[in-house]
Structure 1
Amino acid sequence: MVGSREEVISADRLKPAYVDLTGDAHPQDISVLAADFRFVYTAAANRVFAVTRNKKIDKEYIGHKADVAFLLPFGHHLVSVDVEGFLFVWDIISQEQYLQLKFDPQSFLVTAIGHPHTYVNKIILGSQQGTLQLWNIKSNKLVYSFAGWGSPITDIQQSTAIDVVAIGLADGQVILHNLKLDKTVIKFKQDYGPVTSIGFRSDGHPMMVTGSASGHIALWDLENRKLHSYMKEAHFASVTGLACLPSEPLMVTSAADNSLKVWIFDLADGGARLLHLREGHSAPPSCIHFYGSDGQNILSAGQDSTLRSFSTVHDKHNKNLGRASYHKKASKRAGLKHDKHKMPAIVKFAAESSRESDWDNILATHRSLTVATSWSYQRCTMGKHKFCHERFNNDVAEHSVTASAVDISSCGNFGLIAYSSGHVDVYNLQSGLYRGSFGDPRAHSCTVRGITIDGLNQKVVSAGVDGNLKFWRFKSRQLLGEVKMEAFIAQTVLHRDSSMLAVALDDFNICIVDIDTRHVVRLFVGHSAAISDMTFRADGRWLVSAGMDCTIRTWNLPTGRLVDAFALQEAATSISMSPCGNFLASAHVGDVGIYLWSNRTLYTHVSLTPLPANFEPQLSALPTTIVADSDTAEFDGAAMTEDVDDEQVYKSSEQIADELVTLSLLPTSRWLNLLHLDIIKMRNKPKEPPKVPKAAPFFLPTVAGLEPKFDIEKGNEGKPKTDSHIKKPELGGLSELAQLLTKAHQNKSYSEVLAQFKEMGPSKIDAEIRLLSADEGGSDEVMQYFLEFIESTLQTNKDFELAHSYLALFLKVHGEELSSKPELSSLLEKLSSTQFQSWQRVEELLQKSLGMVSYLRSATV
């Protein structure tokens, strides 16, 4: 589940197979997911949906008043249970309620549901009170009630044995219980909290796997009835899902740490090792930036204190730069779960790729910390430097001063750190040495909200929360001038190539300041809430801003007008424009994902007409993992929204033949070498006739001697010698093909002739076509019927290659005879016209495609 959409992941390397491409997002986030051979069933809040695979939402089941907690596809029915104790049984096709049950949450609160194999029309329910009930949903009767084991039931899973189910309890017990006899078979107990999920291997190894709320996975040997081993810290949060793939030594697990893992049982002791991994931030990202000049990587700092790199090309290029720690070695020894040296989350960071292979090239600030940390993208690890001036070591109050903003020079040598005390310090990133400060003794008398340095290391701009912009000379630390804003400053973003500085104010307006002339050149008014982030397009003509009013707006700097705006369900906390200008990345409140928005101006003509002052942005859905193109997408002139029609209509060969031509899909050996069959026979002709091997008698007589030998001559006595000469069959009437062609001519249908050709081998086809001539027992009428057969096949636009192969062989064998007879020559001219028409349509499409490929190839070189 990915928010309000479901995603299908291939177990092979955990590649995304598809996300529902319809744009039919669920009204709320999906809470429950189930599937059978018909549909994928989802529950969002109190609504249940049936989604066709890779299609739109097909059915909706309305009736629950509370949030749905469990779904169970059951034959032609769907069982759903909500948190208030209502159990509904739906007819999947008609969407009608087949049955409704009400359980009192005080006495039986459903916490698990399952279907025991071979138990017709029966489901088993587990409760918070620890009891189980077996129900017949067809007769609406309680079949049996199990006493339980005095602990809430967390999971029910069918075992590999009939009548035996595995029951997970909140106290860590796993019970293998025989439902038919109401008798416990085996009882286990894991040491790491409640059992969250259960799975059984079905590849011939009697092993049960259980997941815990602490992230550990236990392997149980069912044959010896003991614990096999623990997979400690398989996940760093509660295991939410666990499944062993049928008849394979593979196990798939998921957890609340936003990770999906595939394990393979191939260790010497029968244990499992990690095979594939797909993971992301376990907490929402706080700051994102495109890294490098190719726009293929996005650096993301999450509230889980990790720094990650996500690739826009392929997931295999994703990187994890690690988690921020005061002491990396001690954290590694303790493990991530018990790490006591974890640093607070990264709030802001700056990255420069120019010297990434030489030293640390990422500088980050942390929540409520004075210390700024360095990171290395090349080595994918936290750097060795932690920057903190000695003036802050004597602070009486802990964390009284925090690092509020950072920036790195374009050469990659210097890092600038601004603090809430008003200080701005410069450090050398290679050595970590302090290189000076701006101001005497402070650059500002208030918190510094932004610090930027131009592309030539000439000017530094610092922004104080009081609204003062100060311009400094980088080398001499001399103050060049000040600009007073009309409101407090929230943040700043500099476009180095154009020297344009975007300043977000607390009155929700944005000012564009030219740092060369130190004047405000543009003022953008439109946001109705605090501005969370801003980013420039690579050429500096656009400024994209995101606000807490749940809108993302695009401003055109040359005209100073708003050219695009759209609204979202959740506000964007951070945005970044690709250096290539093709993508806009966004992170949102409460969402662990990073979303990519495509710049449609690169693919089609978009009219950037300025929007009116009272323009109301339209609500847009967040992008999915896979976006389908559509020829019917339209641009509404304002917001970059599109209506994508992803309904893929199946076209049969008959429908395709109306537009193109279709092939027979027969093996090439059946038709490709018909013209060269005589050459192939000559090449494969044996040098001498084959000899019949001497057959050995059942009882082999032997000849006396030192070495016993078989008496073969004795076994052949009395057998007449056979003549190897084979008599040719006598010539009779019309051949089989000639008779079929005559019948087809009378019925005006040649489908049986084509079917007969498809069943013949190359030698048989060659022989039958040669027998059509009058010299070989055929007639001119039969040859005429054959040409009519070829013409009819070409007109259907099907079996294109077969018709041409048979025609080529016919012309090769009977070419001279056809040219000497006027009746057959006229038919050849008519056939030539039909053949030209069928090929001309295909040739036009091929030429158009070749021209498009040539243009694209020349445009990208």
Structure 2
Amino acid sequence: MSGGCSSLFSGFRVIGIYSNHVPHALRYHQKHREFYVVTSAGRCFHTFNVNRLGIVAVSNSLEDDITCLAADRMLVFAASGRLISAFAKNKEVVTRYHGHQHEVRLLLPLGDQLISADSGGDVIVWDIQEGDVYLRLQFDPTTFDVSAMMHPSTYLNKVLLGSSQGALQLWNIKTSKLLYTFTGWSAGVTVLQQSPAVDVVGVGTATGRIIIHNIRIDETLMTFTQDWGPITSLAFRTDGPPILASSSPQGHIAFWDLERRQLSAQQRNTHRTAVAAATFVHGEPLLVTNGADNAIKVWIFDQEGGEARLLRSRQGHSAPPTVIRHHGNDGKNILSAGQDGTLQSFSTVHERFNKNLGHGSINKKKEKKKTKDLTYEQLRLPAITVFSSATARQSDWDGIVACHRGRLATTTWNYNRCTMGAYHFKPPGVGRDSVATAVDITSCGNFAVVGLSSGRVDVYNLQSGLHRGCYGNDKKAHNGAVRGVATDTLNQLTLTAGSDWLLKFWRFKTKKQEDALKLNAAPARMMLHRESGMLALALDDFTLTVVDIETRRVVRKFAGHHGNINDMTFSPDGRWLVTVGMDCTIRTWDLPSGSLVDCFLVATAPVSVSLSPTGDFMATAHVDSLGVYLWTNRSLCGPVGLRPLPADYQPTVEMLPGVTADDVQQEQTPEDEVDEFKSAEQLGAELVTLSLLPESRWKSLLHLDHIKRRNKPVAPPAAPKAAPFFLPTVPGLTPRFETAAANQDSQSKVLSSGFLSQRSEFASALESGLQSGSYDGALRLLKDCGPSAVSIQLTCLTSEAGGDDSLLLAFIHMIDSMLASGRDFDLAHAYLALFLKLHLRTLSNDAVAMAALVRLRSRLEAGWAKLQASFNQSLCLLSYAKSALL
């Protein structure tokens, strides 16, 4: 059976992605009087303001990844593959430029023209407004491969082209003529940058050489050599000091003094990867850099000696995240541990609330000293494999404990101070071959339970960092590696799962084993929902087992994944279990019904998942992706019909948030084809169903006389003004003309016998129901009437009021059918009470009607006996639950 898209989750947005290897573009907005930096984030680009690095806009997505960016005063140009798109307002595509046969790698806006160069040797000059080709230049990549472009200042219609062979050419794009050829410096040109001085150009080469050249007289003014490899970007400072900044593939930036012709300062490790671009803000001592390490940084030059310091930054993981968890009870912060070794906190509200807890270090004192024996990378701890956090005492001491890849000691982290903690938990008397594999913090925030690959489980105090014992008689809780540890809400139980196929229950305080449960396979990971006491275990045979820690029995078993289950999480109420696996599926299991209710595929395998404590968002992390993806919970926005999925259900691929193009509509199920759940009219013979009508429609039926006396007006009603023409209508919700009274004399106050003999629609429906046995039509008419109208309808049933004695018997049969069906329980009793109040004297003289009333009384007594038994059972269970809690 083919499936549709997810009925429970829909893509919202991606957080934690800021930049990649594409050089940024810096633009100035004259109306806002503010500088903006534009960075690529895959298929879309982000726009940040420089003064706060707050995100301003996210563009619509393109079909392919962006390869280069450029910006002018009004538009942002992005090239993806062979297509160039112009964006207005940092978001919408207004013009597309088609004409390149190879991948575009260089863009240069110049007035009303846009110059682009591709890898095949074509250089095209476009008309920006019309999107037409103004000029096309073709070069042979073997002799002149265009690698850099620049417009020399004050050179009208001139473009300087640099090649990977080392030569430079100056072209007039209006006349399509080659004006001059520079022989070069026997090295490929990587960067061309205009200096503040006219005619002077900075040239960066692939050998690390920097040439300051005068292109008017073709003379080299000065040269510098960078020892860190090719020049990735050049930037001239324009706020006073003659400084040139050059960046390298190793993440370092060198600052050259052009007056002294020497190196003035250097900034090492500005980025963990190659610096994609470095640009000085015009007229300000600010340098904006970005790199492939997913970081944007703004540096300010206010230090002695011309050195720069980091002013502000926006950075995410430089390597894909491995574990994500919501931190806190508000669901607004997500802790994420990445393969780059950092622990970060991403806010779902605004990026200014993001926190970077940094990179773990083996010895913080040695790292500050940076001795020659130990390098910066050797002092860093490897990536975090699993962590646990608690907010109960995070203001007093460290509230995060993490296990690192291949290391025995676990580290603590402080969320409020955004630093690594003071303690390294290492159990005494354990060899270095053991590795920490599982960790959990108690709900009170005082203790941390750590499991090792040797089967040992230890307890530590987070305040003092002291070892507080271990589980097991021989200091060994399991005969294999510990795959998961958990503690309950009241710190009474500790649960451990090991590769020996055992789930063990321990007393937290005495550390004595109470019980053990044999599993069907070795557990891969474990997750406890403390509020409900449900423990989920993902086994190595791709199945799931749910254990109730109170009864210590397996209550649910789920099978359906076709690969390793990477992670799982519970919904806040404990009803759903969401699992992700290497089969690229995200599955939602309903625990009460024990069935799969939602399943969908994603493009890349998810490695971690977390549901917010408020249940509004689901966060996922994926293989080879630097961001954290947010999915909204549709059940909070409207009714969602969740039904068990069939065994042959085939899920469809759901695009990740922020990946698909906005103008491409995803395939969705039409609203008229959605299989909505319809509740049964009656759940069981022993239960009853209310009418759901307002209480004012039936609760005051027995008190109509009192209400009329209370509402009687003091003054007589005034006669209305004579209308030119009107037709009298019958009282009721549906307006109908009273044809019988239209021919009567308006001055006569005596009703004719013909008017009294006219039966109402309700009486006719009762009479037809007496013959057919179905009273649904009559009941619908009564439901549409108000209390006064119901009283009038019931009063007119007797022969004295224009009805018939047979209608009394029909009404009794209607109430009997209502009680037999169990529907409209409240209306049946209210209508019957009013009926007996009005006609009890008349009914006592009718033997047939009295026999029907006797049968109706027996049905009433039997129905109430069943309800009373259900009420007593529920009250007994409720009182037992209250006594157990006390």
Give the shorter-chain TM-score range.
Answer: 0.5 to 0.7
Say if 1:606 and 1:635, in contact at 8 Å, map to a contact too: no
1:161 corresponding residue in structure 2: 197
* Cα offset, 1:418, TM superposition: 1.4
* Deviation string, structure 1 residues 75-113 (Cα, Å, up to 9, x no partner): 444433334544444454555555555544444333322
Alignment of 1:296 with 2:314, yes or no, is no
Say if 2:537 and 2:546, in contact at 8 Å, map to a contact too: yes
* Deviation string, structure 1 residues 748-776 (Cα, Å, up to 9, x no partner): xxxxxxxxxxxxxxxxxxxxxxxxxxxxx
Say if 2:54 and 2:352, in contact at 8 Å, map to a contact too: no
For the residue of structure 2 that corresponds to 1:592, the secondary structure is coil
Matches of 1:589 and 1:288 in 2, distance apart? Answer: 13
Return the letter of the residue paired with 1:14: L
Alignment of 1:16 with 2:52, yes or no, is no
Matches of 1:73 and 1:377 in 2, distance apart? Answer: 45
* Deviation string, structure 1 residues 491-542 (Cα, Å, up to 9, x no partner): 1111011111122223333222212222232233343332221111211122
1:5 corresponding residue in structure 2: 44
Q: 2:472 aligns with which of 397, 421, 439?
A: 439
Matches of 1:502 and 1:381 in 2, distance apart? Answer: 32
Say if 1:365 and 1:373, in contact at 8 Å, map to a contact too: yes
1:40 corresponding residue in structure 2: 76
2:617 corresponding residue in structure 1: 583
2:402 corresponding residue in structure 1: 364
1:547 corresponding residue in structure 2: 581
* Deviation string, structure 1 residues 564-604 (Cα, Å, up to 9, x no partner): 33433322221211112222222222222223223233333
2:691 corresponding residue in structure 1: none
1:31 corresponding residue in structure 2: 67
2:603 corresponding residue in structure 1: 569
Matches of 2:356 and 2:459 in 1, distance apart? Answer: 28
* Deviation string, structure 1 residues 427-476 (Cα, Å, up to 9, x no partner): 22233333333334332222222111111222222222354322233233
Return the letter of the residue paired with 2:538: A
Matches of 2:439 and 2:292 in 1, distance apart? Answer: 32
Alignment of 1:149 with 2:185, yes or no, is yes
Alignment of 1:215 with 2:254, yes or no, is no
Matches of 1:274 and 1:625 in 2, distance apart? Answer: 31
Matches of 2:562 and 2:117 in 1, distance apart? Answer: 42
* Deviation string, structure 1 residues 616-673 (Cα, Å, up to 9, x no partner): 4444443359999xxx999868999xxxxxxxxxxxxxxxxxxxxxxxxxxxxxxxxx
2:168 corresponding residue in structure 1: 132
Say if 2:61 and 2:659, in contact at 8 Å, map to a contact too: no
Return the letter of the residue paired with 2:479: S
Alignment of 1:260 with 2:296, yes or no, is yes
Matches of 1:66 and 1:468 in 2, distance apart? Answer: 59
* Cα offset, 1:205, TM superposition: 4.6
User: TM-score, normalized by length of structure 1?
Assistant: 0.67
Question: Higher mean Cα deviation, 89-98 or 299-308?
Answer: 89-98
Q: How many residues align?
A: 629
Matches of 2:502 and 2:196 in 1, distance apart? Answer: 72
Question: Higher mean Cα deviation, 186-195 or 526-535?
Answer: 186-195
Return the letter of the residue paired with 2:221: V
Q: 1:109 aligns with which of 145, 148, 151?
A: 145
Return the letter of the residue paired with 2:448: G
Alignment of 1:468 with 2:502, yes or no, is yes
Matches of 2:552 and 2:101 in 1, distance apart? Answer: 61
For the residue of structure 1 that corresponds to 2:222, the secondary structure is strand
Alignment of 1:478 with 2:516, yes or no, is no
For the residue of structure 2 that corresponds to 1:444, the secondary structure is coil
For the residue of structure 2 that corresponds to 1:330, the secondary structure is helix
2:484 corresponding residue in structure 1: 450
- From the superposition, tell whether residues 492 and 44 of structure 1 become closer, same or farther in structure 2 (CA, over 3 Å): farther
Return the letter of the residue paired with 2:199: D
Matches of 2:275 and 2:118 in 1, distance apart? Answer: 22
Say if 1:493 and 1:534, in contact at 8 Å, map to a contact too: yes
1:406 corresponding residue in structure 2: 439
- From the superposition, tell whether residues 230 and 465 of structure 1 become closer, same or farther in structure 2 (CA, over 3 Å): same
Say if 2:572 and 2:615, in contact at 8 Å, map to a contact too: yes
1:308 corresponding residue in structure 2: 344
1:851 corresponding residue in structure 2: none
Higher relative contact order, structure no. (Cα contacts within 8 Å, ≥ 6 residues apart): 2
1:560 corresponding residue in structure 2: 594
Alignment of 1:606 with 2:644, yes or no, is no
Q: After superposition, where does 1:164-313 map in structure 2 within 5 Å?
A: 164-267=200-303, 272-313=308-349
* Cα offset, 1:45, TM superposition: 4.0
* Cα offset, 1:328, TM superposition: 0.7
Matches of 2:668 and 2:367 in 1, distance apart? Answer: 53
Return the letter of the residue paired with 1:413: N
Matches of 1:606 and 1:557 in 2, distance apart? Answer: 17
2:566 corresponding residue in structure 1: 532
Matches of 1:320 and 1:76 in 2, distance apart? Answer: 43
Say if 2:43 and 2:659, in contact at 8 Å, map to a contact too: no
Say if 1:417 and 1:425, in contact at 8 Å, map to a contact too: yes
* Cα offset, 1:557, TM superposition: 2.1
* Deviation string, structure 1 residues 340-389 (Cα, Å, up to 9, x no partner): 21111111001112122333221111111122222222333222222222
* Deviation string, structure 1 residues 710-743 (Cα, Å, up to 9, x no partner): xxxxxxxxxxxxxxxxxxxxxxxxxxxxxxxxxx
Matches of 1:314 and 1:504 in 2, distance apart? Answer: 34
Say if 1:331 and 1:340, in contact at 8 Å, map to a contact too: no
Say if 1:617 and 1:639, in contact at 8 Å, map to a contact too: no
* Deviation string, structure 1 residues 546-573 (Cα, Å, up to 9, x no partner): 2223332333222233333343332222
For the residue of structure 1 that corresponds to 2:366, the secondary structure is helix
- From the superposition, tell whether residues 271 and 368 of structure 1 become closer, same or farther in structure 2 (CA, over 3 Å): closer
Return the letter of the residue paired with 2:622: H
* Cα offset, 1:324, TM superposition: 1.1
* Cα offset, 1:290, TM superposition: 1.2
Q: 1:430 aligns with which of 453, 463, 479?
A: 463
RMSD of the TM alignment (CA)? 3.3
For the residue of structure 2 that corresponds to 1:576, the secondary structure is strand
Matches of 1:639 and 1:297 in 2, distance apart? Answer: 37
For the residue of structure 1 that corresponds to 2:322, the secondary structure is strand
* Cα offset, 1:179, TM superposition: 1.9
* Cα offset, 1:239, TM superposition: 1.9
Say if 2:265 and 2:306, in contact at 8 Å, map to a contact too: no
- From the superposition, tell whether residues 516 and 86 of structure 1 become closer, same or farther in structure 2 (CA, over 3 Å): farther
Say if 1:608 and 1:638, in contact at 8 Å, map to a contact too: no
* Cα offset, 1:407, TM superposition: 1.0
1:762 corresponding residue in structure 2: none
Q: 1:338 aligns with which of 347, 367, 376?
A: 376
Matches of 2:102 and 2:554 in 1, distance apart? Answer: 54
Q: 1:498 aligns with which of 532, 535, 547?
A: 532
Matches of 1:242 and 1:197 in 2, distance apart? Answer: 6
* Cα offset, 1:68, TM superposition: 3.2
1:459 corresponding residue in structure 2: 493
Q: What are the ranges of 5 or more consecutive residues in structure 2 without an aligned counterpart?
A: 1-39, 675-886
Say if 1:563 and 1:638, in contact at 8 Å, map to a contact too: no
* Deviation string, structure 1 residues 680-735 (Cα, Å, up to 9, x no partner): xxxxxxxxxxxxxxxxxxxxxxxxxxxxxxxxxxxxxxxxxxxxxxxxxxxxxxxx
Q: What are the ranges of 5 or more consecutive residues in structure 1 without an aligned counterpart?
A: 641-861
Matches of 1:100 and 1:483 in 2, distance apart? Answer: 75
- From the superposition, tell whether residues 364 and 162 of structure 1 become closer, same or farther in structure 2 (CA, over 3 Å): same
1:354 corresponding residue in structure 2: 392
Matches of 2:667 and 2:375 in 1, distance apart? Answer: 48
Q: After superposition, where does 1:624-703 map in structure 2 within 5 Å?
A: 624=658
Matches of 1:175 and 1:375 in 2, distance apart? Answer: 48
User: TM-score, normalized by length of structure 2?
Assistant: 0.65
Matches of 1:114 and 1:627 in 2, distance apart? Answer: 32
Matches of 2:296 and 2:213 in 1, distance apart? Answer: 30
Say if 1:532 and 1:546, in contact at 8 Å, map to a contact too: yes
